[in-house]
Structure 1
């Protein structure tokens, strides 16, 4: 019996998971077996370097999984501390920082760069199935993640929305208060993370490297990790950069399960690379030849600097600019207004390039500066088109072009600043903020008024060719303004447009464009119809992930109309908070404008009359069935439009509905 008990004791003792008492300490990483992924590397000086350039993500972790849960299932306590440094390559240009991560995997292959820190992506962020806990050292403000500022420490679970966070600071034992720290100072800092598995207490403490551990933690939060961490987990670090190069170093790291992690030997930690040039020793003797040489070099440098500045801000001007161009800005003024086109002033990125917020120094006016991408396929043609067309347009529902600038290959456009951003963002990217129906209806009417001006009221006909929610911007009073005229084309009233190249966005393209490539005012009306349905239904024109019957928005709304339940297509976020007559008008008018046959669509003048109540919207009934069928057959026989695969909307109108003859015959 005694032998059996002894055997059982030995088995229990040596079969216990090694992770229960796992501990390690790295005073530098030269020669260690740390697991590296992505851009992470060990430098020749023994530093763990996570990222060092743009468009990078780096991970490093202890190569063996640690056992976080013993047999009775309760989380074990653990303690870790490490020394890190975040070094900027350029002043005031930073990225998303770094994080200490507890995860079920060594690699994080699905992690995206930028704000996702190489850990998550738009599909995985916030998922409870991630089983990831992290302490983030965030150096960039992401309001969508609930960040408090661009210099904070946070406790995150399964995502980047912190359950607890605080500005980077440390408790001073002398004064009894907190003193701020800058995470991007380039100086080494010491961080302690301690978790009590019995009390579910997580403490995070920060301090400069030359001070002892403060008595009071920066963060102290009750966190039950039992549902987050699995039995075996990896511990390590992650970081990523997007458009700004930042070097993120780990100098030393200590970890222990069920106990206090060993203190790091700070005197043996590797040194950071020198920041800036090496300090030159002073000369003992300075003679006249040296003074002359220095003076000569100074003069040459000054002349060279002046020449370089002239080259840097040099601009070109062509004949068309003198004829059509609005006010021209200097490149230097725009460079200063946008603080050198820094990422902090970036408003958005599109197919034509980047848009920055700026403040003109002379007038203190807020502006938006679009910097057309060098790699844009549209290039200089679209730049000239926007300057020539939008530069002379004046309407309250169009984004006003204030001026432009050309410098070498730099193409820049300056607009009125729209503080409320794009309609697309409010409709789809702000789930907690619902755009009211009265606001949506006013935006629809405003964009219609702007399109009427482009089609009929200006000195030439302007085809916008890219009408969609993302190209509608909102001013301070939430008025809709149509912008982005990069694809616009002009022609004289009474003549035919000469465009034969199909451009635009899928979901807004009229069917005839796929056959002829010829844009007309009617193709703009089709896109406006898709836009109206998009605003009313809170859905994009094409939703690939929806059910088969709901992939194409116009087909789905037409099916709801056919069943007599057209209001079923209304954006569910509105609830019942909308005017029924206005909503039915917009939905039916959207179907009418999106009719497959161009001659059946109303003009923008008719659209504005319907929206303003100056003319009744034709009922989509069976009274004029013959006219609808005749129109469908006429266009099927037409030489320039052959519908070999008519859409469900076309077939619906041909079989169950009609449009008044004046509309079908192209009456305006």
Structure 2
């Protein structure tokens, strides 16, 4: 009897153990397929980069550190094999470093592995220049984007997008939510620092994805912000990780996740917003306490009003500008000098970005729109040809291309002309090539810049309503935006000097080393003279040297001569920029160097069009080296005439360039 009782108890213990294990396994499965974080204390998320969990449970993806990323993933892989649907919701907040200066955004991601340390900036830490758009990525993302990238055709700098294997969204919309009370969408400002909630639902049967957005505490909108047909079974693999990726570029923001819930094949559990951690406030200057100074302010205001009345006449003279009747037809392109003066705080030295042959450039913030702009002050004493030039400025103001610096308008004062452009936060390309002021650019960044500038010249030469000649293509006139896209600037400026010239004189405008031989004979610019300058520019970018460099010896080193001599000896790769090390693509480097030579051919007829150059760079056309045979080059004999408006040639910071190809004797590793 005792034995039987003992046997029964043992059986019960085994049964209880089996049941307990089954329950634990079931709980584990539940944790794998669905979870809810009301704050992230004890969450054990997989973090990398800038990502961290604050003591109060707030998940911070990024802080105010430039060009960095942060990732956070649920620690357990999710089984997406044979899934039919999923849903998730999370609460986020974006705090910009400054109100009008915000970095890129962040994204919710589903990927086959933890994404670690991919490209910052516009790539949101998800992809990079080499894999963007590849079907082998198997990545799905909902981007919350606060920077406008022309490369990805972003609609604005405040949008939500659906991404599959690429940062080019298949569907996107400006941030907003459907307000039931008014029956329409209300706008949302993603970088406001306010907490907002996102709902993402995928129906595998209907093959549809819905994305909704609303301020935290507002009921989920009945009408989603985004809704599109999408078959994610073609994207996902069996095992996927879910999480978040944040990124900063030159400008920075802090990206926070307050809470997160996820579920496979079921309705996601609601977040308890009353228990979510608070969002840190953006730091503001100390506020004055009006209660203690109210009476004093009133008295001071009376004095100030009297003082301002006395200064009014003096201030009016400060803002004097030239306005003639014929300019009325170009009114929308005209800025007031007063606004430009205030934008730059009186053109103070601290706002000075740089200076060159065409004048000084200042950074400023327009007082009404709060838009950052670059303002170029061009000296111009002569009134001859000014009407025609203003007409041209008004026309050029209509030019729009992703690789050109937009010209917004102008202002005239006695003796000077002010031109207003978009501000390019990374400055000019020559600072990266020839000085130690900026970090060196990678080969892929340089190649992308060459493609962009070539595309801009094709637009100017062939795609706009009339042919526009740039006339001064060079590294210092190529500006880099926040994402290091090359933007061609200063188009049309050379025309100002021609129109101000004495009619009987031959006036050649340009820069030593970029002037086509026929310009010095005829003084007439054509699309082929722009091609010649672009050839010098390509060699400049690939070799890290200026087209003409003064040596310690009396003679000059002509870059195109040197590269051609090395091509003839079969050692053209030895001319590539030594600072690149082995970070370059052999085929691309050879292509750029040979294209640069062909574009620099002394005969205009032997030079290709910019469209053909672009097709070669894009891999859509094959380069013919026939034009390089018997290539008589003597740039030093063809660039002696420089107009009054030309920029001076600064000495390179590079070491003395070689006189022959034999100088580079070490073998560098190359990747194809």
TM class by smaller structure: 0.5 to 0.7
Q: What is the aligned partner in structure 2 of residue 95 from structure 1?
A: 103
Q: What is the aligned partner in structure 2 of residue 387 from structure 1?
A: none
Q: What is the aligned partner in structure 1 of residue 91 from structure 2?
A: 83
Q: What is the aligned partner in structure 2 of residue 59 from structure 1?
A: 71
Q: What is the aligned partner in structure 1 of residue 512 from structure 2?
A: 464
Q: Does 2:219 correspond to 1:219?
A: no
Asked if structure 2 preserves the Cα contact closer than 8 Å seen for 1:529 and 1:594, the reply is: no
Q: Does 2:587 correspond to 1:546?
A: yes
In 2, Cα distance between the equivalents of 1:167 and 1:554? 42
In 2, Cα distance between the equivalents of 1:361 and 1:512? 35
The offset of 1:511, in angstroms, is: 12
The offset of 1:546, in angstroms, is: 2.0
**Change in CA separation of 1:189 and 1:442 when aligned onto 2, cut-off 3 Å:** closer
Q: What is the aligned partner in structure 2 of residue 45 from structure 1?
A: 56
- Three-state SS of the structure 1 residue aligned to 2:452 is helix
- Three-state SS of the structure 2 residue aligned to 1:134 is strand
Structure 1 residue corresponding to 2:558, chosen from 503, 523, 535 = 523
Q: What is the aligned partner in structure 2 of residue 232 from structure 1?
A: 239
Q: Does 2:304 correspond to 1:256?
A: no
Asked if structure 2 preserves the Cα contact closer than 8 Å seen for 1:103 and 1:234, the reply is: yes
In 2, Cα distance between the equivalents of 1:258 and 1:209? 25
Q: Does 2:112 correspond to 1:107?
A: no
The offset of 1:82, in angstroms, is: 0.6
Deviations 1:332-366 (A, max 9, x none): 799999955699xxx99x9xxx9896755667743
Matches within 5 A, 1:258-337: 258-275=265-282, 276=284, 315=349
Asked if structure 2 preserves the Cα contact closer than 8 Å seen for 1:508 and 1:527, the reply is: no
Structure 1 residue corresponding to 2:138, chosen from 121, 127, 131 = 131
In 2, Cα distance between the equivalents of 1:573 and 1:58? 36
**Change in CA separation of 1:446 and 1:61 when aligned onto 2, cut-off 3 Å:** closer
- Three-state SS of the structure 1 residue aligned to 2:259 is strand
Asked if structure 2 preserves the Cα contact closer than 8 Å seen for 1:140 and 1:149, the reply is: yes
**Change in CA separation of 1:97 and 1:461 when aligned onto 2, cut-off 3 Å:** closer
Q: Does 2:447 correspond to 1:366?
A: no
Structure 2 residue corresponding to 1:204, chosen from 201, 205, 211 = 211
Deviations 1:626-646 (A, max 9, x none): xxxxxxxxxxxxxx9777699
Q: What is the aligned partner in structure 2 of residue 35 from structure 1?
A: 46
* Unaligned stretches of 5+ residues in structure 2: 1-14, 304-342, 376-399, 438-447, 475-493, 499-504, 517-525, 566-574, 578-583, 600-605, 617-621, 642-657, 665-672
Asked if structure 2 preserves the Cα contact closer than 8 Å seen for 1:337 and 1:359, the reply is: no
Deviations 1:583-613 (A, max 9, x none): 99x9876655565xx59x974699xxxxxxx
TM-score, normalization by structure 1? 0.55
TM-score, normalization by structure 2? 0.55
Q: What is the aligned partner in structure 2 of residue 192 from structure 1?
A: 199
Q: What is the aligned partner in structure 1 of residue 308 from structure 2?
A: none
Aligned residues: 483
In 1, Cα distance between the equivalents of 2:514 and 2:370? 27
Asked if structure 1 preserves the Cα contact closer than 8 Å seen for 2:104 and 2:248, the reply is: yes
The offset of 1:58, in angstroms, is: 0.8
Matches within 5 A, 1:447-458: none
In 1, Cα distance between the equivalents of 2:422 and 2:564? 28
The offset of 1:144, in angstroms, is: 1.9
Deviations 1:228-249 (A, max 9, x none): 1111111111111111121111
Q: What is the aligned partner in structure 1 of residue 80 from structure 2?
A: 68
**Change in CA separation of 1:507 and 1:437 when aligned onto 2, cut-off 3 Å:** farther
Q: What is the aligned partner in structure 1 of residue 312 from structure 2?
A: none
Asked if structure 2 preserves the Cα contact closer than 8 Å seen for 1:203 and 1:220, the reply is: yes
The offset of 1:134, in angstroms, is: 0.3
- Three-state SS of the structure 2 residue aligned to 1:162 is coil
In 2, Cα distance between the equivalents of 1:546 and 1:87? 44
In 2, Cα distance between the equivalents of 1:187 and 1:197? 33
Deviations 1:365-423 (A, max 9, x none): 4357896799879679x9xxxxxxxxxxxxxxxxxxxxxxxxxxxxxxxxxxxxxx998
In 2, Cα distance between the equivalents of 1:332 and 1:510? 31
Deviations 1:79-122 (A, max 9, x none): 1101111112212112221111001122323x111100011110
In 1, Cα distance between the equivalents of 2:596 and 2:510? 29
Asked if structure 1 preserves the Cα contact closer than 8 Å seen for 2:407 and 2:419, the reply is: no
**Change in CA separation of 1:95 and 1:603 when aligned onto 2, cut-off 3 Å:** same
**Change in CA separation of 1:281 and 1:374 when aligned onto 2, cut-off 3 Å:** farther
* Unaligned stretches of 5+ residues in structure 1: 1-5, 300-308, 383-420, 469-476, 489-502, 531-539, 559-564, 576-582, 607-639, 647-668
Asked if structure 2 preserves the Cα contact closer than 8 Å seen for 1:100 and 1:235, the reply is: yes
Q: What is the aligned partner in structure 1 of residue 180 from structure 2?
A: 173
**Change in CA separation of 1:555 and 1:159 when aligned onto 2, cut-off 3 Å:** closer
In 2, Cα distance between the equivalents of 1:459 and 1:282? 64
Deviations 1:467-525 (A, max 9, x none): 89xxxxxxxx989669999x99xxxxxxxxxxxxxx955459799989987664x9276
Asked if structure 2 preserves the Cα contact closer than 8 Å seen for 1:104 and 1:233, the reply is: yes
**Change in CA separation of 1:154 and 1:44 when aligned onto 2, cut-off 3 Å:** same
The offset of 1:550, in angstroms, is: 6.3
**Change in CA separation of 1:66 and 1:518 when aligned onto 2, cut-off 3 Å:** farther
